[in-house]
A and B are shown apart, each in its own frame.
Chain A
Amino acid sequence: MSQKVLMKGNEAVAEAAIRAGCRLYFAYPITPQSELIEYMSRMMPKVGGTFIQAESEVAAINMVYGASGCGKRAMTSSSSPGISLKQEGLSYIAGAMLPALVVNVERGGPGLGDIQPAQGDYFQATKGGGHGDYKLIVLTPNSVQEFADMAAEAFDLADKYRNPVMILSDGLLGQMMEPVEFKPAKNEEELAELDKQHFDWCMHPNVDGPDRHHHEINSLEIDPKVLEKHVLRLGEKYKEIEKNEVRYEKYNVREDNEVLCVAFGTASRIVKSAITELTKKGHSIGLIRPITVWPYPYKAIADALTEKVKKVIVFELNLGQMVEDVRLAVNGKVPVEFLGKVGGIVFTPEEVVQKIEENL
C-alpha cells in the first residue's frame, strides 16, 4: 500500500536518492539546502552508506569524482555560491565521462546574495559553468513530489549517458513541505547489479590474467588529435541526449491560446495559478513548462505557436536568462515578453495576471 508523508523538499530528495541506490554523499552545509545534508548525516549510517561533511564544496565534488570513478552512485548538493565552487569538479566529471548527481537548491545572487528562492543559476546550469565543451543534463522540479522523483531519474540518466546530472531547484522547493510518496528502495542485489554494469570502465578489483584491465579515470588528452576525438564523442553524446531526453509539461496548451507562457520550477506554479484566474475571465492562456532546461524543449514551444498566439511571455526569478532560449524557439514569429523577479523575491499570481492582461 502506498503511503504519503509530509516532507520538506530537501529531505524528500535525500530520501529518494538513498532509495535509488546512492550510498555515497559528500557535501558542505549551506542555506537553504542544509536539511538535505542533515538528513544524509542521519540516514547514511543506517543504510551502510558514507556521509562526509567535506572541508569545502571543492573537496565534496572531488570526492564524488573519486566515488563515481569506482562505479558507485554518488551525490553532492549545495546552493548557488557553493555550486559555483563545484564547477571545476563538474568539468572534470563531465570530461572523464562519469555519472553523478548534483542538487542545486538555488538562492539569490550574485555573490553571497541572500537565502531566498531564485532562478539566477540558469545560465550556469545550462550553458556550462566550468571550462571546456560539456553539458549537464538539468532537471527542474516544481513540487516536492517531483523533486523526489527526479533523484532516481537523474541517477538513471547519469548512468545511461555517463554524464553528470543536476537537479536545479530553489529555496522555495527545498524548504516547502508537501505530501510525497516514495518509490520502493533498491535492494542489495539490485545495487550489486548496478555496480557490475559499470565494470567495463570503473575502478574495481582486478585479477591477473587475460581479462585484467588497467582502468583510467581521466580527462587529460595531451595529443590534440586525441582530445579532438574525445570532445567530438562528447558532442555526439549530447546530440543523442537532445534527441531522446527532452522533458516538458504542456498546461492548457490549446489551438485558441491567446498568449503562451513559458516558466520552469517554482515560477511555473505561480503562472498556473494565474492561468486559472484568467480562464475564469474567459481567456485562453497556455503554459509550456520545461522540465529539462538542458536539453531544452525548443520544438514544444515552436509547435505551440498557433495562428492565434499573439505573444509569448517568459516568467523567471532572474533577469531573463531563459528568454534567450525561448527566443531561439520562437524564432521571431511573435514578440517575446518577460516578467522577472530578483533578489530572492517571488512574483504573485496577481502580478503574473497583470503582465498577461497587458499583452492580450
Chain B
Amino acid sequence: MEIIAQRPKSLMKVQFHYCPGCLHGVAHRLIAEAMDELDMRNKMMGVAPVGCSVFAYKFFDCDMAEAAHGRAPAVATGMKRARPDMYAFTYQGDGDLAAIGTAEIVHAANRGEKISVFFVNNAIYGMTGGQMAPTTLPGMKTSTSPYGRDVNDIGYPIRACELLATLEAPYYIERVSLLSPQDILKAKKSVYNALKYNKEGRGFTFIEFISTCPTNWGVDPLKAREWAKENMLAFFKLGVYRDKSKEEGDE
C-alpha cells in the first residue's frame, strides 16, 4: 500500500492541546512539512511564544526555546548569531508580536536577521480568554472591548506585513490565509519559500497566517471561517508584501 500522507517527521508524536476548529494545528503542520521537505529539522531551532501555542516546544521535533511574551525575535537573534550554521524560526501570536513584542519584531526585521517569523493572526487574545488584540477589528466585541473596538479610543488594528514592508532589510513578507483548503495549499507554498530562503541564508522572512478563534469568538468552526473571510480579509489583504528573490532575478 502506498503511503500518501503521514505525520511529518518534524512534529512530535503528541496530541495538540488546541480547541476544536483552531487552526494552529494546520499552521504547525505546514511548517513541519516544509522543514521535512527542506531537510532542516536537525539544524532547526524554534522559538515558542507565550499564548495558545506556548507548548509549541513540545510539538515541533527540533531544538526549541521558550521565550518571554513578545521577546521571541530577540531570542532568535541571539540563537542565530550564536549558531549561524543552524536555522531559526519564531512562532508568534498577535498579542505576542503586535503588542508587547512590537519593538522586538520591528528591530529584528530591520536588522535583517536571517530567521523566519510565523505570525498567527486571529484578531483576539486566545489563551487569556478572548481579550482585545492589536489586530481586533473595528467594532469587534471582545472581553475587554465589550462595546466593540472603538477606533477613536484605542486606534485601528495593526497590519504587521504592511508595517514591516516599510523597512529596507526584510527579504520576504507575505500574508496568507488558513480559511479554506485552497488557501492552505497556497499557504504551504509560502511557508516553503520562507524556510527555503532561510536555509539559503538570504535574510528575514515573515509569514502572517489569517486564522480563527472559534472558542473566543463564540461561534462554531465553520462560522468562524466564514466570519474571517468576510471581515478579516477585508482589513488584512492577502498577498506578497516583499519578495527580494524577484528583485534578485530568481524565477
List the interface of chain A (C-beta within 8 A of B). 24, 26, 50, 52, 54-56, 58-60, 62-72, 74, 88-89, 92, 96, 203-208, 212, 214-220
Residue ID in chain A nearest B78 by CB atoms: A66
Residues of B within 8 Å of A71, CB to CB, are 82
Besides the known contacts A54-B107, A66-B47, A208-B42, 13 further A-B residue pairs in the complex with CB atoms under 8 A apart: A59-B104, A65-B65, A65-B71, A66-B74, A68-B78, A70-B83, A70-B86, A71-B82, A74-B82, A204-B63, A206-B41, A214-B62, A215-B63
Nearest Cβ distance between residue A17 and chain B, in whole angstroms? 15
Q: Interface majority SS on B: helix, strand, loop or mixed?
A: helix
Chain B nearest CB from A193 CB (Å) reads 16
Residue of B nearest to A209 (CB): B42
Chain B interface (Cβ within 8 Å of chain A)? 12, 41-43, 45, 47, 54, 57-58, 61-68, 71, 74-83, 85-86, 103-104, 106-107, 111
A66 touches B42 (CB 8 A): no
* Chain B residue contacts of A55, Cβ below 8 A: 103-104, 106-107
CB distance from B8 to the nearest CB of A (A): 14
> Is A52 a contact of B57 with CB atoms below 8 Å?
no
Q: Tell which of A54, A58, A218 touches B65, judged by Cβ atoms closer than 8 Å.
A: A218
Pick the residue among B45, B47, B71, B80 that contacts A59 (CB under 8 A): B71
- CB-defined contacts of A63 to chain B, threshold 8 Å: 74-75, 77-78, 81
A26 near B45 (CB under 8 angstroms)? no
Distance of A66 from chain B, by nearest CB (Å): 3
Do A62 and B104 touch across chains, with their CB atoms under 8 A apart? yes
Is A219 a contact partner of B66 (Cβ separation < 8 A)? yes
Q: Are the C-beta atoms of B68 and A62 separated by less than 8 Å? A: yes
Residues of the B chain whose Cβ atoms lie less than 8 Å from the Cβ of A50: 81-82
What are the residues of chain A within 8 A of B77 when measuring CB–CB?
52, 59, 63, 66
Given known A-B contacts A55-B104, A214-B62, A206 and B83 have beta carbons under 8 A apart: no
Q: Contacts A62-B67, A205-B86; is A212 near B42 (CB within 8 Å)?
A: yes
Q: Are B78 and A69 neighbours in the complex by a CB distance under 8 Å? A: yes
Which residues of A are found within 8 Å of B66, using beta-carbon distances? 96, 216-220
The 8 closest A-B pairs by CB, nearest first: A66-B78, A63-B78, A70-B82, A62-B74, A217-B65, A55-B107, A67-B78, A203-B63
What are 11 A-B pairs with beta-carbon distances under 8 A? A55-B106, A58-B71, A59-B71, A65-B67, A66-B47, A67-B79, A69-B82, A70-B78, A203-B86, A215-B63, A216-B58
> Which residue on A lies nearest to B106, using beta carbons?
A55
Docked pose: A88 CA to B68 CA in angstroms: 8
Q: Are B86 and A66 in contact (CB under 8 A)?
A: no
Flag if A220 contacts B103 (CB, 8 Å): no
The interface residues of chain B lying within 8 Å CB-to-CB of A89 are 68, 71
Taking a contact as CB atoms under 8 Å apart, the answer to whether B42 and A26 are in contact is no
Please, which residue of chain A has its CB at the minimum distance from the CB of B79?
A66
| B78 in contact with A64 (CB, 8 Å) | yes
A69 cross-chain contacts in B, Cβ below 8 A: 65, 75, 78-79, 82
Q: Write out the residue numbers on chain A whose beta carbons fall within 8 Å of the beta carbon of B78.
A: 24, 26, 62-70, 74
A203 to B80, alpha carbons, bound, how many Å?
11
Q: When the two chains form their complex, are residues A216 and B65 in contact, meaning their CB atoms are under 8 A apart?
A: yes
Contact A65 B75 (CB under 8 A): yes
CB of A99, distance to nearest CB on chain B (Å) = 13
Complex: A208 Cα to B36 Cα, angstroms? 12
Contact partners of B71 in chain A: CB under 8 A: 58-59, 62, 65, 89
B115 to chain A, nearest CB (A): 10
